[in-house]
Amino acid sequence: MNLSLGCAFNLEDLFLNFKNSKLDMDCGKCEKLTGDRHRDKLAQKVFMDSVQLILNDVIDNNVTFQLPLNGVKAELYVKRYTGEEFAKLRKRGKWQDVDFLKSFFTGY
């Protein structure tokens, strides 16, 4: 599978200012659950798994996910390209690794 998921920050950068005091869990409970005493690692794992679930749902089930951004409208979705638009983009180099017969001349 060829996915373009590059970004300018990583998961650790998102949690630089994360307040562990907000978690209702001490290091002992965290170690009992995961084998690791670091609560921030558990929070990162939960966040990463939830983002993966959202992306898989958007890609596989063609749903639109609305991001909660305090009144600003932002959505994650896939756009379907078919027909002439698909052919034009494929000639320009997009979806070269996709079998166009199996995909019914469709790209996302």
Per-residue pLDDT of the chain (108 residues; tens, 9 = 90+): 666 665 566 767 777 787 877 778 888 888 888 888 888 888 888 888 888 898 889 888 889 998 888 888 888 888 888 888 888 888 888 878 778 788 777 887
Whole-angstrom Cα Rg for the chain: 20
| Per-residue exposure over 81-106, b if at least 16 CB sit within 10 Å of its own CB, e if not | beeeebeeebeeeebeeeeeeeeeee
- Does the pTM exceed 0.85? no
Please, which residues have CB within 8 angstroms of residue 3's CB and are 6 or more apart in sequence? Answer: none
Please, which residues have CB within 8 angstroms of residue 12's CB and are 6 or more apart in sequence? Answer: 44
